[in-house]
Structure 1
């Protein structure tokens, strides 16, 4: 064996830097995906609560003794620890004994009741009999 040969063990600086670069790219991707998942979960929770509120409002209107009057009604309520804004729009149909009800629900913190993404819309019908 020659005396000039050396037994090298371990990683070179270049190998360590490449490994760190790969780790940084993977970590960045995972963090971004986690943020997307959290936003998606919050959106699904908001839409689910808004759906429940809209269904409850339609049933509340159906259980009233009389058919609701034509026009718009807006109210605020508290549900699942949050404030919500509910808009009922009652309109007539071709049948005088049947009313169409459009319900829009959104979190009170949201700016636009008409925005498609800020809440939930439900359409239903209420009959006289």
Structure 2
């Protein structure tokens, strides 16, 4: 009988197993949330990068074709494997001596499930109207902040 009592069974109790499973569950949930956040940030960065490519391509097309952009416009296009809404806003430049220069803001927003999302990139370009006299611009007396010296 002493021999039977001396031989204790070794192993884990039910409580120890349940505590280990609870810790494992908490770690699994945390890892799942971290990987979900990582995948979401990768998707946001990818969308932003592709939108910037679309905006740069539109700006290059305007410059290459020497298009005169005079009015605001909105267009939908399929590029980079996605659908995008491109909004071009035309305004006068801060340079009053040259009315032939126009500032064009190109804003690109993804279209997901036929809904236009928030714009993810904006770029500004200067466009010169070749039909107008651009005049001469004297920048010798202008500092970087735009104030006269």
Normalising TM by the smaller chain, what interval?
0.7 to 0.9
Give the 5 Å matches for 1:44-59.
44-59=45-60
Any stretches of 5+ residues in structure 2 without a counterpart? 131-149
Larger mean Cα displacement after TM superposition, 2-11 or 84-93: 2-11
> How far, CA to CA, are the matches of 1:126 and 1:59 in structure 2?
11
1:111 Cα offset (Å): 3.2
1:6 Cα offset (Å): 3.1
Question: Deviations along 1:28-68, whole A, 9 cap, x unmatched?
Answer: 11111111111111111110110000011111112233532
SS at match of 2:106: strand
Q: Which is higher, the Rg of structure 1 or of structure 2?
A: 2
Question: Deviations along 1:102-129, whole A, 9 cap, x unmatched?
Answer: 01101122435xx3xx421111212346
1:10 Cα offset (Å): 0.9
Q: How many residues align?
A: 124
- Runs of 4+ off more than 4 Å: none
TM-score normalized by structure 1?
A: 0.84
TM-score normalized by structure 2?
A: 0.74
Q: Which has the higher contact order (CA 8 A, sep 6+)?
A: 1
SS at match of 1:108: strand
SS at match of 1:107: strand
Any stretches of 5+ residues in structure 1 without a counterpart? none
> How far, CA to CA, are the matches of 1:55 and 1:66 in structure 2?
15
Alpha carbon RMSD of aligned pairs, Å?
A: 2.0
